[in-house]
Chain A
Amino acid sequence: MSIQLLGIQALHGVVYGMILFLITAGLSVVMGLMRIANVAHGSFYMLGTYLTVAALAAGASFWLALFLVPLLLFALGASTERMLLRHAKSHFHDLLLTFSLFFLVNETVLWVWGAQPLPVPAPELLSGSFALPFGRYPIYRLFVLATSSALAVLLLFLFLRTLAGVTVRAVVADPGMAEALGINTSRVRMIVFGAGTALAGLAGCLSGPIFQADPSLASTSLMSMFIVVVLGGFGSVTGALVASLVMGQVQTWSIMFLPDMAAAGPLVLFIAVLAWRPQGLLGERA
């Protein structure tokens, strides 16, 4: 087990963790805000990857896709919240709605793009590898790392230090009180849902060249996403960051040592955490 190998693996883990963070940051805030388990969140992530495929097939450049796909998904997320979830009559109804959306997106993807995984070519500029102290590392992954880290800093700043962030956190903590203070909570919900979806879409776009476009992405990422949110706490961007990085390492190392069982890792972890603390790690209500 050379240092080089360890270094490369660890870095893989960080890249994976950062992608997971982009996906789950939005989910965590949405779940803190709306108290529903959004099963369809993974579907938005998957759509990000597939829309990138479509954009590239239509002749757009990767950079254009990187810009457009999150915008599209913001619109999709915001309208989902506005038109569907807002009319939900109960938490059961919410659950059922997101579950049905999950199916719809799955079937749409299968129809339009088929069941075979599709490769997503990285842009020419980012191909090849870069020499790091412990070995050569794909430039594209370094790019993903850089972009997601920058975004993480931006998100944390927005969430923790701006008025917008405080507003969102207020609505998470006590929606009734926030309304009483004059905050338009339904607009906040819509925007946050849209932003969370956009982030997931961005993650999908970025991860395309690494993980390919695969119709099972939505279901396989589900448990990883939820374990991050449960571990990190609902409504906490910082928590999502820490938990994602941890999960990233766990996943990468388990793929290396137990390749057959790696996919079950998040499942087992999720079951174990909820078995130990049925109310989630931070005592949040479900």
Chain B
Amino acid sequence: MTHPALEVRDIHRSFGALKVLDGIDLAIRPGERHAIIGPNGAGKSTFMNILSGTLKPTGGTVHFSGEDVTGRSPAAIARRGIGRAFQIINVFPALSVEENVESAVACHQRVTWHIWRSLDRIESVRSRTRDILEMLKLWSRKDVPAGMLAYGEQRRLEIALCLGISPSLLLLDEPCAGLNAEDSSAATELLRSVSENKTLIMVEHDMDVVFNLADRVTVLHQGKVLITGTPEEVRSSAAVQAAYLGGHE
């Protein structure tokens, strides 16, 4: 029996007296595209932080492909093949686009301690970097410092960095935040191709993206799972509509 790509059991997280996550259970199949939505304050960011290792849960477990990764550090989780992209652009601003992705690839290829080699001469790193940049249509901008890219390009770089570590599970935090409708649909297609043969979990507020891309959707509300189901099931659920007070966003 294959393990779920991600299995979360009874996750709790409190900050002092404030209970942010109150028993989350979730199992995500390998290759699935899964969206997590919910009103503000539902606990989505906290949940993502627990999955990527920034926060430790105060209770419960996280299993990644059958392996217990509860409470591991972000670096350890990344090395196991979980890649995270952030809502607020979180790249290396003074480095060029190519150098940014190179850094991710180099870590994944475990050449960090090869101190007898110069990084820009390692062919395997360079070719993989090129592949990723071309897939995300950033190769033409490879020498531009990351801090000087247009916003849409920076969003793509966020994802490129995430891909650099060849993850099998992608955790994306509002990948379409701040994009207009046209960029959004382009981004959706990009996300679709980028997540071929990978498991994708994303937090999103843009319902068009969610309904176009996700296989299943989980709605979080006040730290609990309200419903997990297909986009249609979620859309037609009365409980979800009540939680959102009659509208989304």
The reply to whether A and B meet directly (CB within 8 Å) is: no
By a beta-carbon cutoff of 8 Å, the part of chain A in contact with chain B is none
By a beta-carbon cutoff of 8 Å, the part of chain B in contact with chain A is none
